[in-house]
Amino acid sequence: MKPFLRHRLERQLQRLQDLERLLSSPDIMADMTAYRSLSKEHAEATPVASRYQRLLQREADAAAALALLEDAEMAALAQEEIQQAQNEVGQLEAELQRLLLPKDADDERQAFLEIRAGTGGDESALFAADLLRMYTRYAERRGWRVEVLSSSDSELGGYKEVVLHITGTQVYGALKFESGGHRVQRIPLTETQGRIHTSACTVAVLAEPDEAEAAPINPSDLRIDTYRASGAGGQHINKTDSAVRITHLPTGIVAECQDDRSQHRNKAKALQVLTARIHEQERAAQAAKDAATRKGLIGSGDRSDRIRTYNFPQGRFTDHRINLTLYKLAQVLEGDLDEAVQALTQARQAELLQALEAASA
Q: Domain holding 47: CATH number?
A: 1.20.58
Full domain range(s) for residue 141 = 111-350
- Residue 284 within a domain: yes
310 pLDDT band, cuts 50/70/90, is very high
Q: Which of 73-87, 271-285, 294-308, 311-325 has the lowest mean pLDDT?
A: 294-308
Q: How far apart are CA 23 and CA 39, in angstroms?
A: 7
- Residue 105 within a domain: no
The per-residue pLDDT for range 83-139, each reduced to its tens digit, is 999 999 999 998 998 888 888 888 989 999 999 998 888 899 999 999 999 999 999
Q: How far apart are CA 139 and CA 54, in angstroms?
A: 36
Instruction: Check whether residue 29 and residue 121 sit in a common domain.
Output: no
CB 332 within 8 A of CB 134: yes
Q: What mean pLDDT, rounded, does the chain reach?
A: 86
Q: What is the pTM of this model?
A: 0.75
283 pLDDT band, cuts 50/70/90, is confident
Out of 51, 68, 100, pick the residue that ends a domain: 100
Q: How far apart are CA 77 and CA 61, in angstroms?
A: 12
| Exposed e or buried b per residue across 223-255, where buried means at least 16 C-beta atoms within 10 angstroms of its C-beta | eeeeeebeebeeeeebeeebbbbbbbeeeebeb
Instruction: Check whether residue 133 and residue 268 sit in a common domain.
Output: yes
The per-residue pLDDT for range 147-177, each reduced to its tens digit, is 998 888 888 889 999 999 999 999 999 999 9
Chain-centroid distance of CA 135 in Å reads: 13
Taking 80 as the threshold, does the pLDDT of residue 53 lie above it? yes
Instruction: Check whether residue 83 and residue 170 sit in a common domain.
Output: no
Tell me the β-bridge partners of 203: 115, 180
Instruction: Check whether residue 21 and residue 141 sit in a common domain.
Output: no
Instruction: Check whether residue 89 and residue 20 sit in a common domain.
Output: yes
- Residue 355 within a domain: no
pLDDT of res. 88: 95
The per-residue pLDDT for range 7-52, each reduced to its tens digit, is 989 999 999 999 999 998 888 888 888 889 999 889 989 999 999 9
